[in-house]
Amino acid sequence: MVVLDPGHNGGNAGAPEEVQRPVPAGGFTKPCNTTGTSTDTGYPEHEFTFDVAERAAALLRARGVTVLLTRNDDLGIGPCVDVRATIANDARADLTVSIHADGAAAGARGFHVIQPGLAPDGGNASILEESSQAARTLRTAFAASTGEPPATYPGGLVEAGLTQRDDLAGLNLARVPAVFIECANMRNLGDAANVTDAEWRRQAAQGISDGVLTYLSSR
Domain that holds residue 50: 2-218
CA–CA separation, 140 and 180 (whole Å) = 14
Give the tens place of pLDDT for each residue, 6-34: 999 999 999 999 999 999 999 999 999 99
d(CA 215, CA 168): 22
Tell me if 3 sits within 8 A of 98, measured CB to CB.
no
- CA dist 65 and 173 (Å) reads 24
Task: Round to whole Å and give the CA distance between 25 and 85.
Answer: 10
Catalytic residues: 182
pLDDT of residue 205: 99
CATH at residue 200: 3.40.630.40
Average pLDDT of the chain, as a whole number: 98
Q: What is the pLDDT of residues 94-126, one digit of tens each?
A: 999 999 999 999 999 999 999 999 999 999 999
Q: How many domains does the chain have?
A: 1
Identify the pLDDT of residue 219: 87
- pLDDT tens string 141-185: 999 999 999 999 999 999 999 999 999 999 999 999 999 999 999
Q: What is the pLDDT of residue 92?
A: 98
> What is the value of pTM for the model shown?
0.98
Q: Average of pLDDT values for 180-195? A: 98
